[in-house]
Every structure is written in C-alpha cells, then in structure tokens.
A = this chain, B = another copy of it.
Amino acid sequence: MKALIYNGPRNVKIADVPDAKLERPTDALVKITSTNICGSDLHMYEGRTNVEKGKVLGHENLGQVVEVGDAVDRVKVGDWVCVPFNIACGFCENCERGFTGYCLTANPGTAGAAYGYAGMGPYHGGQAEYLRVPYADFNCLVLPPDAEEKEADYVMLADIFPTGWHATELAGVQPGESVVIYGAGPVGLLAAYSATIKGAAQVMIVDRHPDRLRLAQTIGAIAIDDSKVSPVERVLELTNGQGADRGCECVGWQAHDPQGHEHPNMTMNNLVQSVRPTGGLGVVGVFVPEDPKGPDELSRHGQIPFEIGKYFEKGLSMGSGQCNVKAYNRRLMKLIHAGKAKPSFIASHHLSLVQAPDAYKHFDAREDGWTKVILRPAA
C-alpha cells in the first residue's frame, strides 16, 4: 500500500510499504479516509527525535472498518471509526483507571503507545491507505450516521480536540473562569475552543502568527501577540492585576521567542507569572527527557530553569502529559453530532496523500494559513 514514511530530518516521502493487516484476533483493519498532520509530527520531521527511517507516520486517523479479528465483538465491518492516537489495551492497571495514554501493555517497558510515533512502540501510522488497530473493540470510536458529512470534524477527535480539552481539564477550568493559553497552534486553538464550550468567562491566547490569532478571534478568544506586547503584562491588565484563573501550555519544549531563539522554559515561566494564586496549569505541549540538539546543557537533559518559588508562593497546581483520548472523545463526538462543536474550523488544507511531503514542508515552516492539514488517502 501507499504510505508516508520518515526518511531522515526534514525528509518524508510516499512509499510502497507492506499492507497493514490483522495480526491478533482483537485487531481491526481500517481503510483510512482522513488522517491529519499533527504539530508533534514536526518534532520527528525536524530530526529532534530518534524515530527510525521507514516508519509510517500519522496518529490522527479516521476511516472505515474493512476487516475484524475473531475476538472483536463490538466493531463491525463497515463501521466508520475515529481512532485515538493512543494504543491502549483497556485492561492494564493504568487503562483500567482511564489512563489510556499510559497503557502498560501495548509498548512493554514504557507507559504509553501510539501509531507512527517515536518511542511509542512498533506501530505504523495512518498516513497510509490502511491502518491496523489493536484492541479494536476498546480503541475504535464508532461514529454516528453523519460520519461522512462531518468527517473533518470527527477526525479531530483522534487527538487534537481531546488534547486541547485535556489542557483545560488538567488546568481545572470551571465555568465563569478566565483562562490564558500559550500557543495558538491547533492544540492551543482547540484548548481555547474547549474552554469556551465549558463556559469560561474569558479566554486569552498568546501567539504571534497573524493567521492563528485571527482564527482565535473567530471563536471569541482574546488574541495576544507576544511579538508586540508582553503577554504576562497583558494578561494581568485584562484580569485587574490578578492573573488568569487557569493557564494552558500548548507549545512544548521547542518554545522560542519571536526572533526564533529557543527557550524551553519560556512558556512555563510565563504561565507561572500569568496565573493567579490558587490557580491551575495544564501542560500538553510536549517536553522530552533527552534532547541532544537542545539549545543549552539543561535542556539537553530534559531540564528547565523553573520558577518554583513563585509557583509555590502562589499555591499553583500543574497537570501534564499526553491526553487520554478515550476520556473525552465520546462526549466531544456527541457535541459534534448535536451541532454544538465544530472543531474543523482549524482545518486549512484538505490534500491527497501524495501531497503530504509538500504539506509537511509548508506546515513546518508555519507558513501563513497552514494551520492544519487533513490528508485524504482514499480520495
């Protein structure tokens, strides 16, 4: 089958790879009709991970079931399904408590597995014609009858919408509260959108890309351009000097200033400064334990100079980590189905699989208007 594979730093290509197929009686095989490029794919693309050449990328996948194993009871051939980026068994000590992003079974020796991702197990991704889905009854979200009509919305349930939602959950956003979000990429935008759905009174979002800030405004968020103002000062100004009730980190370790210099602690410490005493932080931007190409000695070992003094004085709390997609995807699906959420507002490009290498280039360059790419392998 055709698939997009990693071929080295800033080098991805479409290749013929062995067909995805059932390997265990609990597997399903899904014909992929929509698969997104994720901002976290760019960490691999830029050579900042140890992903192996030949890996099929793609962890935001939606399609139609074409075959199921003997032990699959719920999912049927013909079902339209959206597949969480986490691969989870459903029965380990972490999965049974809902931590499907930290499954102990699917990637032995590590907590957590995913499709097509560095360090997340031997699984190929879905930027391809077909995808093998392990533990299919547990992992497949079966979509309602409007699956095809709202496919661009539903595909956001694989990762980016739940991950934005997760940021607001980790931060503890409650109705009536104020929230500041660092990063207006797809995750940040959907964190802002999630906060709005939950009834936040005031949603502020910090970025510097005009296209992203414009999109943020279309969903009612207050856009803060950190190439023009101090985001901390602006947040304090907008909150009567108190700081926001909650804050979300949607950038991660490759945070950089408007001039492009990386400062892995920039958004974290800005958050500590921007959030009021007793507040909460949600960190979903990726930080890594080792980064040989990091800008300084600390960052190369996964450390940042962190403002623990202010953090403690304010009595802050901070949740972190990758999203447990299954914790939220069904209820977000219901919001889409009921017409109360339309996360596809972030989608800027619908392309074929062969256009993927080019799309990686534009998206990685953060070119104006390249907010989010949906690939359509079956088109």
A residues lining the B interface (CB < 8 Å)? 24-26, 69-71, 73-74, 89-94, 96-99, 101-102, 105, 111-112, 137-138, 170, 174-178, 197-199, 201-202, 253, 264-265, 268, 276-278, 283, 286-291, 298, 301-322, 326, 330-335, 337-338, 340
Main secondary structure of the interface of A (DSSP, over half): loop
Q: What are 20 inter-chain pairs, A to B, with CB distance below 8 A?
A: A26-B26, A26-B71, A71-B71, A74-B105, A96-B326, A102-B278, A111-B314, A175-B331, A202-B334, A278-B321, A288-B309, A289-B310, A301-B309, A302-B308, A303-B305, A303-B307, A305-B305, A315-B321, A317-B317, A317-B319
Listed residue (A69, A91, A287) with the most chain B CB atoms within 10 angstroms of its CB: A91
Residues in B neighbouring A290, C-beta threshold 8 A: 309
Whole-angstrom distance between the alpha carbons of A170 and B317 in the complex? 8
Q: Decide if A311 touches B305 in the complex (CB within 8 Å).
A: no
Q: How far is the CA of A170 from the CA of B278 in the complex (A)?
A: 12
Per a CB cutoff under 8 Å, which of B112, B314, B340 touches A321? Answer: B314
A304 contact from B90, B268, B305, Cβ within 8 A: B305
Task: Name A199's contact: one of B197, B304, B312, B337 (CB within 8 Å).
Answer: B197
A244–chain B nearest beta-carbon distance, Å: 12
Contact of A316 among B101, B277, B321 (CB under 8 A): B321
Chain B residues near A199: list those with CB within 8 A: 197-199, 335, 340
Q: Is the CB of A337 within 8 A of B91?
A: no
